[in-house]
Amino acid sequence: MHGQARRLVEHQHQPIAVKKSRFHLFRSHAQTAITAAPMNDSTQDNAPEQKRQSWWQRLSSGLKRTSASLGSAISDLVKKRKLDSAMLEEIEDTLIRADLGVTTAARISEAIAKGRYEKDIDESEVKTVVATEVEKVLSPVAAPLSIEGAKPFVILVSGVNGSGKTTTIGKLTAKFTREGHKVMLAAGDTFRAAAIEQLKIWGGRVGAKVIAREQGSDAAGIAFDALTAAKAEGVDVLLIDTAGRLQNRTELMSELEKIVRVMKKVEPSAPHAVLLVLDATVGQNAISQVEAFGKTAGVTGLVMTKLDGTARGGILVAIAEKFKLPIHFIGVGEGIDDLQPFTARDFARAIAGLDD
Ligand SMILES: Nc1nc2c(ncn2[C@@H]2O[C@H](COP(=O)(O)OP(=O)(O)OP(=O)(O)O)[C@@H](O)[C@H]2O)c(=O)[nH]1
């Protein structure tokens, strides 16, 4: 594995230019409350630090399974041994098993080796190198989702069934609404009645209008109606849910293409973003999903969900390394506040099991 990984290191990709992430904070809200209660002065003084702590706690606890499995493997390896090539190989294999990808795993093991051969090495030293190297991979792709430059800003949300599309749309709607934007939703996943109902529930919860028709309706027609209505009603952001049955890839992709084609009749610049929602728990399978959707749906950015429910958070690093697509958000729970803007340093430190 070691040699194979090393050979693959030579296959480097050119990074695309992506704006480096700025740190954006969400306000903390009760699940059903959209507007934060007014804070008293003393709370306001500490507010940024409190928000930062609550954000970090959610991220690091969300990634606990990944960091715990990686951390315990590393600590077992480095116990009472000097660094040698066998240990390096084991560390590299551990990183590959944690889904970080062969390229990053090899780069990390090279960085660990530098100046440390035949020396005692401790767990925190290894974790720090892991965090530093992971951050290098993630920094170029950590990009906030900007909704500037178009009104309505149209976001098409794609992904396979159960990846967390509808939940992510709900969380995004809450975020945009909190920020003072008028949001509209389109129930373009007409394949399942439950998906339409779920979107209506999210819309009701956050006070966003939902354009929907009965199950089996033409998704492109819904997108057309929604965009027309969004323009007429001065909506800032239109989020369009789509069906995700990857087993029938041709049909699915032609449906996505039709949605885009039909929307362009109303607004030639739409959609302004095409998000692909990925479920972290599927591990390596997420890579083939990026390949499938990336090619045909014109994906402009990624959201990875369920990082709280898996030890496979490392897959995001492999995806960043391989595809260089902007990563906008990560989902670390089912609650309305559990969608976090993606920041390279925080994610890298959380995954390595280091403190804030
Ligand atoms: N633990 C956890 N669960 C999540 C997260 N995001 C979504 N879920 C859950 O994953 C399940 C599927 O989410 P949906 O939003 O219905 O997924 P979908 O892609 O819209 O699925 P379809 O409607 O079948 O196309 C739900 O039970 C969500 O609550 C997350 O970040 N963490």
Residue 309: per-residue pLDDT: 77
Query: Dmax of the chain from CA atoms?
Result: 70
Instruction: Locate 294 and state its tokens.
Output: 């990336």
Contacts of 119 (CB under 8 A, 6+ apart): 82, 83
Ligand 1 probe mutation, 334, 342, 347, most atoms within 8 A of CB: 334
Domains of the chain, first to last: 55-141 (1.20.120.140), 153-343 (3.40.50.300)
ipTM: 0.94
Residues 97, 103, 108, 110, CA torsion sign: positive
Give me the helices (H) in the chain, please. 2-9, 41-62, 64-78, 85-97, 102-113, 123-138, 165-178, 193-206, 219-232, 249-266, 285-297, 315-323, 344-352
Q: What is the pLDDT of residue 192?
A: 84
Q: Which residue in 306, 337, 346, 338 sits closest to 65, CA to CA?
A: 306
Ligand 1 geometric centre to CA of 164 (Å): 3
Q: What is the pLDDT of residue 19?
A: 30
CA–centroid distance, 34 to ligand 1, in Å, is 20
Q: Output the CA angle 58-244-62, nearest 5 degrees.
A: 10
Rounded distance from Cα 157 to ligand 1 centre (Å): 13
pTM of the shown model: 0.83
Q: What pLDDT does 18 receive? A: 29
333 lines ligand 1 (CB under 6 A): yes
2 in ligand 1 pocket by Cβ < 6 Å? no
DSSP annotation of 119 reads S
Measured CA distances, 241 to 85, 148, 223, 227, 287 (Å): 50, 21, 9, 13, 21
pLDDT of residue 247: 53
Q: Is the CB of 133 under 6 A from ligand 1?
A: no
CA 32/CA 225 separation, integer angstroms:
29
What are the structure tokens assigned to 155, written together? 């976001």
Contact by Cβ (8 Å): 177, 209: no
Say what the pLDDT of residue 296 is: 76
Decide whether any atom of ligand 1 lies within 6 Å of the 190 Cβ: no
The C-alpha atoms of residue 285 and residue 288 are separated, in whole angstroms, by 5
Ligand 1 close to Cβ of residue 267 (< 6 A): no
> Per the annotation, where are the binding residues?
159-166, 241-245, 305-308
Query: What is the CA(333)–ligand 1 centre distance, in A?
Result: 9
Binding-site residue positions for GTP: 159-166, 241-245, 305-308
Question: How confident is the prediction along the chain (356 residues), in pLDDT tens digits per residue?
Answer: 444 443 333 333 323 232 333 223 222 322 222 222 233 333 445 666 666 666 777 778 778 888 888 888 888 888 767 888 998 999 999 999 989 999 999 999 999 999 888 888 888 899 999 999 999 999 999 999 999 999 999 999 999 989 999 999 999 999 999 999 999 999 999 888 888 999 999 999 989 999 999 998 899 999 999 999 999 999 999 999 998 866 567 777 788 889 999 999 999 999 999 999 999 999 889 999 999 888 778 899 999 999 887 778 899 999 999 999 999 999 988 888 889 899 999 999 988 888 77
